[in-house]
Structure 1
Amino acid sequence: MTALHPAESLQQHVLEIGARLKSPPSDLLVNSVFASELAHQQHLFDALGMTDIAQTLVALELQPIPEAEGRALLAALLELQQKPDDFVLSPECGDLYTNREAWLTERTGAVGWLGAGRARREAITTAFVIVMRKALLDFELALAGLGSMMVEQAAIHRLSIMPDYTYLQAAQPTTLGHYLLSFAYPLIRDLERLDLLFKQLNCSPIGCGSTNGSQIPQGRQQAAQLLGFAGVIEHARDAMWQADVCINCVSILNTGSITLSRLAEDLQIFSTQEFGLIELDDRHARASKIMPQKKNPFALTHVRAFANKMIGLSATVTASSRTPSGQPDNRLLIYGELPEAVRQATEVSELMAEVLEHLRFKADRGRQLIESGWTLATDLAETLVLECGLDFRAAHQLVGFLAGEFQQYSVSVLSPEIIIAACEQRLGRRIELSRAQLEKALDLLHAIESRQEAGGTSMSSMEAMLNACSAQFTRYREQALILRTYLEDKEEELLRLAEALATR
Structure 2
Amino acid sequence: MYTREYVEQMDGTHFPGKTFQDCVLAPIFDTQKNYYAKPFIQISKAHAVMLFEQNIITKHEAKEILSGLKKIDLMDMSDRQYDPSYEDMFFMIEHELENLIGKDTAGRLHIARSRNDIDICEFRMVLREKVLEVMEALNIFRQVLLSLAKENIETIMPAYTHTQPAQPTTLAHYILAYQDSLERDFDRLVHLYNTINQSPLGAAAITTTGFPINRQRTAELLGFDGLVENSYDGIAGCDYLTECASALMIMNTSLSRFMKDTLDFCTKEFNVFYLSDPYVQVSSIMPQKRNPSSLEQTRPAISKAIAESKCVFDILHNTPFGDIVDTEEQLQPHLYDSIKYTIRALKMLSSVFTTLDVNKKLLLERAHEGFITATELADILVRDKGLSFRHSHRITSTIVKYMVKHEKKAKDITPQIIADISEEILGKPIDLEVDEIEKALDPVNFVYVRTITGGPAPIETERMLEKRLESLNNNQQLYNKFIDKLKSSDEKLQETVATVIS
Residue 86 (structure 1) shift: 9.3
Change (3 A) 1:149 1:86: closer
Q: Percent identity?
A: 27
Name 2:461's counterpart in structure 1: 462
Asked whether 1:342 is paired with 2:339, we answer: yes
Asked whether 1:353 is paired with 2:350, we answer: yes
Bigger mean CA deviation after superposition, 451-460 or 306-315 = 306-315
Aligned to 2:211, which of 216, 227, 235? 216
- Please say if residues 128 and 335 of structure 1, whose CA atoms lie closer than 8 Å, have aligned partners that are also in contact: yes
CA distance in 2, matches of 1:135, 1:319: 22
Q: With the length of structure 2 as denominator, give the TM-score of the two structures.
A: 0.91
List runs of 5+ in structure 1 lacking aligned partners: 1-21
Aligned to 1:96, which of 89, 112, 128? 89
Residue 318 (structure 1) shift: 1.7
Residue 474 (structure 1) shift: 0.7
Name 1:114's counterpart in structure 2: 109
What amino acid is aligned across from residue 359 of structure 1 in structure 2?
Answer: L
List runs of 5+ in structure 2 lacking aligned partners: 1-12
Alignment of 1:160-309 (within 5 A): 160-309=155-304
Change (3 A) 1:500 1:86: farther
- Please say if residues 316 and 327 of structure 2, whose CA atoms lie closer than 8 Å, have aligned partners that are also in contact: yes
Report SS of the residue matched to 1:286. Answer: coil
Residue 291 (structure 1) shift: 3.0
- Please say if residues 306 and 338 of structure 2, whose CA atoms lie closer than 8 Å, have aligned partners that are also in contact: no
Asked whether 1:484 is paired with 2:483, we answer: yes
Aligned to 1:33, which of 6, 18, 24? 24
For residues 215-245 of structure 1, give each alpha carbon's deviation from its aligned partner in whole angstroms, at most 9, with x where no partner exists: 1333211111111212211111111122111
CA distance in 2, matches of 1:217, 1:86: 36
Residue 427 (structure 1) shift: 4.4
CA distance in 2, matches of 1:89, 1:228: 31
Report SS of the residue matched to 1:114. Answer: helix
CA distance in 1, matches of 2:92, 2:339: 26
CA distance in 2, matches of 1:96, 1:254: 32
Asked whether 1:325 is paired with 2:321, we answer: yes
For residues 97-142 of structure 1, give each alpha carbon's deviation from its aligned partner in whole angstroms, at most 9, with x where no partner exists: 2332343343332332232222212112111111222222222222
CA distance in 1, matches of 2:240, 2:343: 19
Q: With the length of structure 1 as denominator, give the TM-score of the two structures.
A: 0.90
Asked whether 1:24 is paired with 2:21, we answer: no
Name 2:445's counterpart in structure 1: 446
- Please say if residues 145 and 477 of structure 1, whose CA atoms lie closer than 8 Å, have aligned partners that are also in contact: no
CA distance in 2, matches of 1:203, 1:190: 21
Alignment of 1:345-494 (within 5 A): 345-407=342-404, 408-494=407-493
Change (3 A) 1:167 1:288: farther
Residue 419 (structure 1) shift: 1.7
Residue 296 (structure 1) shift: 2.0
Report SS of the residue matched to 2:110. Answer: coil
For residues 62-121 of structure 1, give each alpha carbon's deviation from its aligned partner in whole angstroms, at most 9, with x where no partner exists: 232343333222122111212337971416334332332343343332332232222212
CA distance in 2, matches of 1:295, 1:472: 37
What amino acid is aligned across from residue 103 of structure 1 in structure 2?
Answer: E
Bigger mean CA deviation after superposition, 60-69 or 111-120 = 60-69
CA distance in 1, matches of 2:205, 2:488: 29
CA distance in 2, matches of 1:65, 1:283: 61
Report SS of the residue matched to 1:171. Answer: strand
For residues 39-75 of structure 1, give each alpha carbon's deviation from its aligned partner in whole angstroms, at most 9, with x where no partner exists: 3332122222111111111112223234333322212
What amino acid is aligned across from residue 404 of structure 1 in structure 2?
Answer: K
CA distance in 1, matches of 2:378, 2:88: 69
Bigger mean CA deviation after superposition, 275-284 or 426-435 = 426-435
Bigger mean CA deviation after superposition, 95-104 or 356-365 = 95-104
Residue 319 (structure 1) shift: 2.8
- Please say if residues 194 and 252 of structure 1, whose CA atoms lie closer than 8 Å, have aligned partners that are also in contact: yes
Name 1:13's counterpart in structure 2: none
- Please say if residues 116 and 206 of structure 2, whose CA atoms lie closer than 8 Å, have aligned partners that are also in contact: no
- Please say if residues 168 and 367 of structure 2, whose CA atoms lie closer than 8 Å, have aligned partners that are also in contact: yes
Aligned to 1:62, which of 48, 54, 59? 54
CA distance in 2, matches of 1:94, 1:173: 65
What amino acid is aligned across from residue 62 of structure 2 in structure 1?
Answer: G
Asked whether 1:52 is paired with 2:23, we answer: no
CA distance in 2, matches of 1:453, 1:400: 25
- Please say if residues 371 and 410 of structure 1, whose CA atoms lie closer than 8 Å, have aligned partners that are also in contact: no
Bigger mean CA deviation after superposition, 419-428 or 128-137 = 419-428
Report SS of the residue matched to 1:63. Answer: coil
- Please say if residues 261 and 304 of structure 1, whose CA atoms lie closer than 8 Å, have aligned partners that are also in contact: yes
Report SS of the residue matched to 1:164. Answer: strand
Name 1:145's counterpart in structure 2: 140
For residues 384-415 of structure 1, give each alpha carbon's deviation from its aligned partner in whole angstroms, at most 9, with x where no partner exists: 22223332222222222332332344211211
Aligned to 2:125, which of 123, 130, 148? 130
Change (3 A) 1:413 1:34: same
What amino acid is aligned across from residue 160 of structure 1 in structure 2?
Answer: T
Change (3 A) 1:166 1:83: farther
Report SS of the residue matched to 1:172. Answer: strand
CA distance in 2, matches of 1:473, 1:253: 19
Residue 285 (structure 1) shift: 2.4
